Structure 1
């Protein structure tokens, strides 16, 4: 587990109460009692309530009260009501700061609980792909565009079935919990049908029917299904999804296109033809990258899309996970800012050297 060091901004905020009270004390001594700076000592517990826990806020409040009494005696303010008014101000702000700190701690605990639930949902919905499946080595990368989110609308799965290794990568229209729910429907249908359906077209039809039952209106899911056996070929069904990238042994990249384009999952009820399967040679020593449009549509500051086909050299790392990590970091560097869309990448390597 990596332990994060406190940021310089967080350190400055934690010292803010002490610095404020020190500054007020110094100005009060220099300016004298006529200026009326003593009530500003209450800024110490006020800042403490914003950034610290209730115990630290109470401690800062006690220090502020002691400082208020000391400055009041030094200025001779207790001969009138000014000293007592300043003490009441400090005590009141300290109480409010303690209440704010308690409420913030409760909200942070609730947020931590929600994040734990999200992590459990991630393990159920987007469970880790197997390191090896049949003749393939697999690695996956997922980046959510939503701050602090673990999961989103992109989906992936690898299933080693009796009919070959079957793979899906998809992108749900929309974001948020509704997209996560739709992704769960697609993955559930795929995982069940991948073992039962002998043909890839039958698998696609099962997933299409499940999605059509669940989705309403014009919602849809772009997806690509693949089947890799032992005959050095990959069979694809493309439901309006970006073409996969096939990296040959010499480092050149191909983006195999379907013979005819089909609508995404969920729109097949409009009576259009289903996608036609197409075969592509996939031999030992070659790599297959399936991804969502959050990768290829990532733009830099000048509006240029990410040139995926020019980044095949990043996949030369013997470790598939290391290669995919380098590619993901390059996408992040290209964007040079927060991602605008979820981005999923699934890398499949055909193990073995194959013919030169």
Structure 2
């Protein structure tokens, strides 16, 4: 096994080099072949200039220098065969040769600038991804009598990471969660997500009322997040046989009952997103719905509803949940199975296209009570 890794490394390097130079090398071969086939009646050797210039888009400067060095004598040879090195063409050929050399040098400069930009972009992307991963820590499989699972689809175009967020905490007031989506993308969205999660972590352990937790998080986002950022969020508190929600402009949760019935839990008092609470003098009160053993709760971000297939059709979230988990199913699936099944279905819907926005699904269910041991004789 120790010899396989170097061999794979050499093979990968060869494939990478081939991807970088296949276009300019192909131009050299095609132009030379066409010039030889057509004879001296037509001169195609000036098109050799395309090889080093187009190489700036893919090849490193050293490769461009080699391509230019190879194509110069090839250019001279083709011009000689076509009869363009006579006295009447000497000055013209000399000028075109200098132009060829300068174009090769310019291509090397552009290639070096492109490589510097790519490296800087990779560095920024790695920092952004590390920051986002530090925020979106995976929850424990079991937390305060609940089973949890999450699946996250990040759409990172260059460094434009999204701002989906979530956290689950076992507090003195029960298990509390927040799921949200920051307006916008990039490092500003990641920073706002970190502010939101930090504020929720502090308030969730201190405040007995879920509405007060929401108000404290809203205040923190208003004070500390960039002025153009706000967060749609749903705050959740799991109580014995019930679950309470505080809505702040987020996607409605979906409950799958033990009998397979699917319910979209619409808030009776929709609230404004976090960071805009000052526009609403009376923030919404929590609402409570039953949540017993065998029920499954799905919390989602709008990346699911916004996903489109090749025909431009939105992902039919509720219909797909009913088809995957609803009536006619013998049992409601485990949260891990549920998020995997729903995520795979989303990927099939999108196909070869990219998601328009980050997508996040968090599933939770009550953990069954451990079986009681029979009393001792």
TM-score past 0.5 threshold: yes
2:98 corresponds to: 88
2:66 corresponds to: 59
1:225 corresponds to: 235
Q: 1:304 to 1:29 in 2, by over 3 A?
A: closer
Once residues 36 and 101 of structure 2 are traced to their aligned partners in structure 1, the CA distance between those partners, rounded to angstroms, is: 22
1:38-73 per-residue CA deviation (whole Å, 9 max, x = no partner) reads 222222222222211122212212221231233244
2:355 corresponds to: 339
Contact 2:121/2:158, CA 8 A, preserved across alignment: no
Q: 1:120 to 1:77 in 2, by over 3 A?
A: same
TM-score normalized with structure 1 length: 0.83
Once residues 23 and 64 of structure 1 are traced to their aligned partners in structure 2, the CA distance between those partners, rounded to angstroms, is: 12
1:20 is aligned, of 20, 27, 33, to 27
SS at match of 1:51: coil
Between the two proteins, the alignment pairs up a number of residues equal to 349
Out of 249-258 and 45-54, give the one that drifted further. Answer: 249-258
TM-score normalized with structure 2 length: 0.79
Contact 2:155/2:161, CA 8 A, preserved across alignment: no
Q: CA RMSD in A?
A: 3.4
Q: 1:297 to 1:55 in 2, by over 3 A?
A: closer
Measure how far apart 1:279 and its partner are.
2.4
1:7-34 per-residue CA deviation (whole Å, 9 max, x = no partner) reads x9x9777422122112222232233445
Contact 1:39/1:89, CA 8 A, preserved across alignment: no
Contact 2:135/2:194, CA 8 A, preserved across alignment: yes
Measure how far apart 1:149 and its partner are.
4.8
Measure how far apart 1:187 and its partner are.
1.4
SS at match of 2:56: helix
The unaligned stretches of length 5 or more in structure 2 are: 1-8, 326-330, 372-377
1:277 is aligned, of 264, 269, 286, to 286
2:374 corresponds to: none
1:321-340 residue pairs with structure 2 within 5 A? 321-335=336-350, 337-340=353-356
The unaligned stretches of length 5 or more in structure 1 are: none
Contact 1:238/1:262, CA 8 A, preserved across alignment: yes
SS at match of 1:182: helix
1:1-356 residue pairs with structure 2 within 5 A? 14-33=21-40, 35-80=42-87, 81=90, 83-145=93-155, 147-149=157-159, 151-214=161-224, 220-229=230-239, 231-300=240-309, 301=311, 303-304=313-314, 306-312=316-322, 314=324, 320-335=335-350, 337-352=353-368
